[in-house]
Every structure is written in C-alpha cells, then in structure tokens.
C-alpha cells in the first residue's frame, strides 16, 4: 500500500506516538487529519509538519462516543474522503486491582475501547461505499499478554483485538484492512498520564518506559507495518518476544513477567 494521495486520519495526534506518526507521514504525499481534545497542541503539530497546507485539525473527545457519526461527517467533509483511520488515542493505567476504583475501569473502557470502536463503526459505511479502507489500531503488547498494575488497560486492549479481528473477517469482502499495532515500551508521556486507582494521574515516568524505543524510531517501524498491511505488528525491544513466549507456554510468560518486575 502506498500513501500517495491518501487521506489519513490520526487520533491522539497532539503528542507521543500520534504526533511522531503525523510528523513522519507528513513527509509522504498524503493529506492528514489530526485529532485529539487539545486544539492548540494539534495546531502546533500541524505547523511542525513538512507541508502544513495538507494538514487539517479536528478536535475529538473519545469519551463522547455517542457523537461519533457527526465527527465522522466533519472529517469526511474536510478532504472529501478518508482512506486510513489510525486509532491511536487513549490513556493508560498504573495501579493494583485491589486499589483501583471501578470508575477507572469504566473510563479506560469508554476511551480506549468504546470510543475507538464507535469512531470506527461510524466510519465503516464510508469505507464500504468506497470499496476499501484501512483501520490501524494502536493496541499494545498488553493486548496480547498482561502485566501487573495494568488490569484496566490490559482489559481494554484485549477487547480491541477481539472486536477488530471480527471486523476484519466480516469486511474482507469489502477490501477493508485492519492492522493492529502492538507497542512495547516507547519513550512517551504515557506513564506520566496514566491513571492510578483513584482516577488521578500518576504524574511521573517509569524506568521501563523511559528506556523504551525512541518515539520517532517507533513511528517509522509502525508506518512500515501499515504500508505492508500487516494483520499485527509487535514493535519494541526484548519485550516483544513475550507474544511468542505466551503462544508457547502461558505459564512461562507468567513467570517471566513476574521476574521482570515490570512496574
């Protein structure tokens, strides 16, 4: 797949992975729609892109999932179509299950899962009419195997795999592609912004995240996976091999994660 003349919509584009992917894609001959809640931050990303005239901003709150049909109509009206939707927006969590309010679980599901699938479902008729399209979903390695202190996050990411695997099967006949991107540790503010048990933010970086892949290196690997229309891509350092270990032995990945002291 080539990005030439494609219209690519990126959620969570104001920082982190979304911003880095926008910067890399702006070097291609494509048009970008950048979305997140923070309009001013999106406008700053737009100006940093290689060709700001080919980039437009559309604010979006994933928790407002009932409004997604209107958001999709607005997105389509910008350039007349959408060819690729990169579902990158979301939040993380860092707290023990016993200390985590059910409201935190609810918020993670509303934003990371329901917001993402509501947006994707609202765009689906457009892809069917156009006889093709590509969903790119930024999940996590935690969507393939779990880790302590991330129960709500793991639950939401696992749910995304179940939904989009079904979508891929149902709409193979419509030439609609699904690429699940599973990052390992990437050096962004995801840990600082993660929710803790009472719903407040953690507010500090953790060692594993800080030592993760540099975000622009990650973005380049992610873009290659999108171009190849991969079903799933596991992008990280040593931690990406956990996917294969779990396939071999769920008990072994359990032991390895405990020994790694991931926090």
**Cα 189 to Cα 173: distance, rounded to the nearest angstrom:** 39
**Cα 132 to Cα 34: distance, rounded to the nearest angstrom:** 21
Active-site residue (options: 113, 135, 153, 234): 153
β-pairing, 84-87 with 232-235? Answer: unpaired
- The angle formed by the CA atoms of residues 222, 246 and 224, to the nearest 5 degrees, is 10
204 has catalytic annotation: no
Give yes or no for a contact between 51 and 27, defined as CB atoms under 8 angstroms apart.
Answer: no
Q: What is the DSSP string of 171-238?
A: TGGGTEEEEEEEE--BSSSTTTT-B-TTSSB--S--HHHHTSB-HHHHHHHHHHHHHTT-SEEEESSG
**What residues are labeled active site?**
153
């Amino acid at each position: 797949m080539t990005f030439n003349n494609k219209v690519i919509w990126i959620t969570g584009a104001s920082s982190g992975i979304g911003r880095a992917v926008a910067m890399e894609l702006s070097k291609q001959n494509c048009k970008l729609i950048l979305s997140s809640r923070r309009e001013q931050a999106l406008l700053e990303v737009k100006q940093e892109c290689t060709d700001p005239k080919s980039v437009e901003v559309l604010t979006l709150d994933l928790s407002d999932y009932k409004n997604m049909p209107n958001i999709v109509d607005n997105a389509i009206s910008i350039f007349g179509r959408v060819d690729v939707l990169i579902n990158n927006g979301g939040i993380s969590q860092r707290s023990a299950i016993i200390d985590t309010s059910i409201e935190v679980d609810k918020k993670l599901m509303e934003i990371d899962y329901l917001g993402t699938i509501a947006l994707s479902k609202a765009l689906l008729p457009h892809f069917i009419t156009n006889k093709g399209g590509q969903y790119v979903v930024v999940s996590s390695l935690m969507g393939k195997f779990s880790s302590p202190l991330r129960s709500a996050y793991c639950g939401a990411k696992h749910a995304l795999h179940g939904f989009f695997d079904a979508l891929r099967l149902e709409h193979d006949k419509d030439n609609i592609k699904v690429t699940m991107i599973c990052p390992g540790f990437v050096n962004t503010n995801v840990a600082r912004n993660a929710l803790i048990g009472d719903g407040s933010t953690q507010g500090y970086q953790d060692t594993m995240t800080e030592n993760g892949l540099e975000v622009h290196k990650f973005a380049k690997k992610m873009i290659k996976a999108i171009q190849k229309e991969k079903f799933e891509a596991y992008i990280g350092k040593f931690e990406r091999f956990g996917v294969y270990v779990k396939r071999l032995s769920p008990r072994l990945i359990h032991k390895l994660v405990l020994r790694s002291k991931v926090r």
